[in-house]
Amino acid sequence: MKWIDIPPFWLLACMALTYLTGQVGGADTGLDLAVLRITGGALIAAGVVLMVLAVLEMRRFRTTVLPHMTADTLVRTGIFARSRNPIYLGDMLVLAGYILWTGVLWAAPLLAGLFWVLKHRFILPEEQRLAARFGPEFDDYCRQTRRWA
């Protein structure tokens, strides 16, 4: 079942819960749905761009994008020079955008849930593996680059 414990599963689960919440409770927020859709679409696009840039940079260095595997290379260039976790940041932006796009604003607590899962299921274990593998180089990277920049 390890295939299910990847960030896209958790993101899609939160999006599905947002959709179901909207089906049960509706999406009447009293706000202009067109503005929500434009803003939400922009956040979704920004999140996807972050993810694509990160995957391309990791592929360039021939290291894994799978969160439970140990990286062969500590990628510090490209988007990783700005954020240690651009894919997870992208996940958060996509969910925030989807919540806005659907107008189901009371699904916003799912953002906190996704944040918790990403941090505890993926980021912290990844950082432990990176610290063990790259030692002082990873410590230096952490001092120079923020997690959620």
Residue span of the structural domain in which 92 resides: 29-144
Please indicate, yes or no, if residue 23 is contained in any of the structural domains: no
Per-residue model confidence as pLDDT tens digits over 75-92:
999 999 999 999 999 999
Higher pLDDT, 30 or 55: 55
Alpha-carbon gap, residue 64 to 42, rounded angstroms? 28
Residues 15-37: what's their mean pLDDT?
Answer: 84
Tell whether 17 is covered by a domain. no
pTM value is 0.92
User: Is residue 118 one of the residues assigned to a domain?
Assistant: yes
**Total domain count for the chain?**
1
Q: Tens digits of per-residue pLDDT, 29-47? A: 677 888 999 999 999 999 9
Question: What residues contact residue 58 under an 8 Å CB cut-off, 6+ apart?
Answer: 64, 65, 75
